[in-house]
Chains A and B, each alone.
Chain A
Amino acid sequence: MKIKPIILDTIQTKHTNYYVDIKVDSNVILITGDSGEGKSAVFSFLQELSTEDNRIKCFNYIDYNKRYKNSIKTSKGKLFVIDNADILLDDNIRKYIATDTQNQYILIGRNPTGLFLTQDNIYELVSSYNNGKVIFTLKKAF
C-alpha cells in the first residue's frame, strides 16, 4: 500500500556531528538492514528532535510495558517513529498501522508482516563521513 506521507516527507536534524537527512515517499515505511548500521542511533536523534516538534512521537524497547499501542490508536496528526518494531508491534497493532490514515509511521525493524508494505516502502540506512560530519540518509532497499 502506498500513500504519500501525511505529516513529513523530509526530516532533518543534527546531534553534535551527526546529521540526519531523510526523505520518504510513503506514509508507512520500514527501515531495515544489517545490525550495526546506525538505525538506533538515528532513532535517538529523532527522539531528540521530538522534543522540539510535537508532531513526532518515538517509541522503542524502553516503552515495552507502557501504553504505546493506546497512544498510537488515540492519536491524530502524528509521525510515529518506532524502533525495535519487531518486538513492539503485534499482529493487531500492525493491522491498525496498515490502515491508519490519520498518522504517519517510520518503523525500524525487519519483519513487514501485516503492514501491507511493498518493496517500495522498505528502506535501508546509508551513512557517510565527511570532514568530521556523519550524515545519515535513506535509500530504497530494493
Chain B
Amino acid sequence: MITVYKKNNIPKDKKIIKLNDVYFNTKTSDLLDSRAEDIISVIDKTKIINKYTIASQFDGTNLNIDKLSTGCKTALNILYNPEVIFDIAECGDNALDVIYSFDVGSVYCDYPMISINMAGVRTYEEDDFRVIKDYDDLKEWWMNEN
C-alpha cells in the first residue's frame, strides 16, 4: 500500500516533488517498462508506441511521451520512484484510483485527495506509521492538523 504524508509532517530527509511534469520529463521517462502500459492505458486511454512515443487518444497521431497528462505522469512518478514523495494535488479521480491501488509509493497533498475505491494506506505522522483502511478515517486524519 502507498504511504500518505500531510502538511507539516514530512521527514527531514525527504523532499516533496510538486512539479510532477518536470520530474517525469527529466527522470521517470527513462525508467518506463511494461508496467507503464496498463497505467497509461487506464488513465490516459492510450498506448505506448515505443519508449518515448504514445498514440494520441484523440486522433491516434504519434506524440512524445511528455504529452501524457499530469495525473498519469504523477502515477508513473510514484510507481517508479517509491523513495520519493510526490504531490498528488493535480490528479483526477481516475489517476487517484490507480495510485491508491499501488503496492508501494509515497504521496503528499495539502488537503485530502482520496480515491473512493481505496483499500488501505499507510499514513505518516510524527515519526510513526499507521494503517488506515476507511475513506472517512483517512479524510479525518488528513484534515486534522495536530
Residues of A in contact with B (beta carbons under 8 Å apart)? 17-18, 33-41, 61, 64, 84, 86-87, 109-111, 113, 127, 129, 132, 134
Contacts and interface: CB of A to CB of B under 8 A. Distances in A.
Contacts of A84: 21, 70, 90
A33 B111 CA distance: 18
A84 B18 CA distance: 10
Interface string B39-66: 0000111100000000001110000000
28 contacts: A17-B59, A33-B92, A34-B71, A34-B93, A35-B44, A35-B70, A35-B71, A35-B92, A35-B94, A36-B45, A36-B46, A36-B92, A37-B69, A61-B19, A61-B21, A61-B22, A64-B18, A64-B19, A84-B21, A86-B89, A87-B19, A87-B89, A110-B90, A110-B91, A111-B111, A127-B58, A129-B58, A134-B59
Given A87-B87, A110-B89, A111-B89, A36 B72 contact: yes
Interface of B: 18-19, 21-22, 43-46, 57-59, 67-72, 87, 89-95, 111
Given A110-B89, A129-B58, A35 B21 contact: no
Given A61-B19, A110-B89, A110-B90, A36 B43 contact: yes
A17 B60 CA distance: 12
Contacts of A132: 59
A72 B59 CA distance: 35
B44 A36 contact: yes
Contacts of B45: 36
A35 B58 contact: no
A41 B57 CA distance: 12
